[in-house]
Structure 1
């Protein structure tokens, strides 16, 4: 029997590979931005228009997730792709054929909500630094600098190893049981317009849809699936020998390649539109922080405040008016140069002169760290999850600049 070519899966794996290479830390950026939203809300200073430029990734992903389901998880997330890759090796190379009991699987899927709750309470609300060196996400996102990551994230690397072992036995191990971002998406994606329909009265007894489901859903029992744990990988559709499993959008059946192409176009289009909107807000003065990617020889990016004397606490140091520059060590030991402007003993402007970091990570750290330094009038600020080295480079460079400004 000739084996059926699974065109959608080939297409999906190509997209996964592209995203793995181009934006391996997109998942941690999105989650970090969710944390920023929560933190601003509980502090009572959340203003969407002002904050929007530093929330581009999360805004893009969440809109697509709400309307079209968890395409981000199934097609774009590098950590999900990593889990897929490990499981593929286990099946093809090690011939592992482990199946989790259906009832046990259902119970374990609630663990990710516990993980999310603990993060919100312990880390986001109470301000614990426990994840600064223990996050497997952060370790993975910066794994290209493995010697340094192993030193700085020893526990994080150990947890990543445990997740990798889990992924050898259970497909999408982390996504099923541990992913806090997946817990958020699970809830929000249930109101989407895209469904997978599968009339059970037309089914046989093969259960190929269930056996091929990346997330272990009991599809043989379901008439339709909308969001939730479904990551829109569409493996169930291509596995069905009766072509009984269909993608349905607003009551109409849709080709899986078309549905995935629309989702990809929506993700890329929204990301571009959000960047354009962020630039417009910044240029109009409505937003003070830009999340535009910075390159090693890029022109300076600026975050400024108006009337900082009434909006921020007075620094305990005495500074001379003027503009000062400083250097710090960022990701891969690259040099980060920052320029700091002082007026009336206040930090009124902090901008990047140059940096040698990975653009996506640096841009995320830049927008958040600069905003915090100006608003608190201090360099004692939290680093950005997933961009720790970039954050530290900005902070240390700013500290050096401020040391030159002391009267």
Structure 2
């Protein structure tokens, strides 16, 4: 039971990825599922064009609306983002996003030296907000073609999840598509390759620096129903939580940082059980920590 708890997040990631990208016929036939499920958003990045996808990515859905000639606003997608953001914040990124799972698995590959951060980390983390404002909203709304329709700039020019889960499988299954490859696929493949290599040495580079969906959910971290709090009576500011955090967040100071994806490493590492959720009963964090020590003796 203890080992199951230890790997619960990875298990949930695999299950959710299988559920949202489980249309096997799409992979076998090299075609895109177009059933009723595609009218429903799923919480994480989930490319519409992925052969196995049975739902739609909220960022892709948002861009599909604002780039159309008929509509420039979507109550459904924004309401969906508000709902999941208000309930979970970036827990979605840590537990439910398929591309987050890919990055987690890549980081498990052994390497000579793993990095905690890149030079200019603070500025780099602001990039995802620039991507959100610029590539998801402003460019699709303002750069229009001759018939007044925009382009899904983020999906078309940046999204590595779309390249991995949609572009590569479709090209592999459709020879005519391979013959038509141009600079755009080369560009997106280069982005994917850089992120794959970087993910081996740095935990979740796409989530840190480029993901507009994570930027949206992160804004809700301080107010989401699922959020962390620090029991100041127990916390000694020892820094164990920051040392355990792969994003190098000083959790004892900012437990609800917009960067936190709620992986839970900080809570498991706290020697005093001082990190708990907003609705945790008094003493539960201490009880959990005692159970953890019993299950995993040092």
Name the TM tier (shorter chain): 0.5 to 0.7
**Is 1:144 aligned to residue 169 of structure 2?**
yes
Residue equivalent to 1:77: 97
Residue equivalent to 1:350: none
Residue equivalent to 1:193: 225
Tell whether the 8 Å contact from 1:210 to 1:216 is kept in structure 2 after alignment.
yes
Q: Deviations over 1:269-300 (max 9, x none)?
A: xxxxxxxxxxxxxxxxxxxxxxxxxxxxxxxx
Q: Deviations over 1:149-174 (max 9, x none)?
A: 87462221111011112212221111
Instruction: Give the count of matched residue pairs.
Output: 239
Residue equivalent to 1:121: 138
TM-score (norm 2): 0.67
Query: Once superposed, what is the RMSD of the aligned Cα atoms?
Result: 3.4
**How much has 1:211 moved relative to structure 2?**
2.2
Task: Report SS of the residue matched to 1:190.
Answer: coil
Structure-2 separation of matches of 1:16 and 1:73: 10
Residue equivalent to 2:63: 35
The equivalent position to 1:106 in structure 2, one of 105, 122, 127, is 122
Structure-2 separation of matches of 1:47 and 1:112: 22
Q: Deviations over 1:47-100 (max 9, x none)?
A: 74xxx5xx5xx75554132123222111110011111111121xxx22433222
Tell whether the 8 Å contact from 2:91 to 2:262 is kept in structure 1 after alignment.
yes
Structure-2 separation of matches of 1:200 and 1:105: 29
Alignment of 1:252-263 (within 5 A): none
**Is 1:18 aligned to residue 38 of structure 2?**
no
Tell whether the 8 Å contact from 1:35 to 1:124 is kept in structure 2 after alignment.
no
**How much has 1:12 moved relative to structure 2?**
0.8
Residue equivalent to 1:168: 200
Higher CA-based Rg: 1
Bigger share in strand: 1
**How much has 1:243 moved relative to structure 2?**
1.7
Tell whether the 8 Å contact from 2:116 to 2:246 is kept in structure 1 after alignment.
no
Q: 1:219 to 1:189 in 2, by over 3 A?
A: closer
Structure-2 separation of matches of 1:79 and 1:171: 12
Residue equivalent to 1:403: none
Tell whether the 8 Å contact from 2:67 to 2:151 is kept in structure 1 after alignment.
no
Structure-2 separation of matches of 1:203 and 1:210: 13
Structure-2 separation of matches of 1:34 and 1:254: 40
Unaligned 5+ segments in structure 2 are 22-41, 47-56, 144-149, 289-298
Q: 1:9 to 1:227 in 2, by over 3 A?
A: farther
**Is 1:97 aligned to residue 114 of structure 2?**
yes
**How much has 1:235 moved relative to structure 2?**
1.4
Task: Report SS of the residue matched to 2:108.
Answer: helix
Q: Deviations over 1:25-48 (max 9, x none)?
A: 8514121122245457x9666574
Structure-1 separation of matches of 2:72 and 2:251: 44
Unaligned 5+ segments in structure 1 are 259-407
User: Structure 1 residues 208-217 or 107-116, which shifts more?
Assistant: 208-217
Alignment of 1:323-402 (within 5 A): none
